[in-house]
Amino acid sequence: MTGMRALQRSSIDTFVVQNIRVTVERVSTRAVKVAPEMHAAVYHVFLATWTAFMAIFWLTFASSSQTLFLLTFISIYAAVFFGLPVWMNRKGRFMECGQGSFREFLRGRVATIDGSVTGWEALVQVILVPACLSVGGVFIAFIINASRASS
């Protein structure tokens, strides 16, 4: 019985190794250029969506002094939160962004820990949360302004 299990295990191992070799050969025959880093424009779009989110709330709550006080602290925190990595990157080891045009980046692929994704997929993954929050902020601002107008 032990010999049979060993035979099954070795044939499974051989099958797995052969499939890995075939997969590696298929991947290596395709010449796909994978960018090691994201393009700088992705970071700019990311910051622009967060800036739009904050601007929506500044415009919505401009009439309330108590809320403006809180928004001031939130803005200072946001400046530190987004500014500190930029400052550390400039003071320490400089991280390079992807080379080429933004259009080439979106058409190409980007390396991730789990493999590669298209440039569009990388952009969507980076800006999805702040973009959704900005859209939600517009609806919140509309609701607040509509309730103020009705009272």
Non-local (6+) Cβ contacts of 109 within 8 A are 32, 33, 34, 35, 116, 117, 118, 119
Alpha helices in 61-108 (DSSP H): 65-91, 102-107
Cα 20–chain centre separation: 30
pLDDT in tens, 79-117: 999 888 878 877 776 666 767 888 988 888 888 888 888
Does residue 36 contact residue 105 with C-beta atoms inside 8 Å?
no
Has residue 25 got a pLDDT over 70?
A: no
pTM: 0.69
pLDDT in tens, 126-137: 999 999 999 999
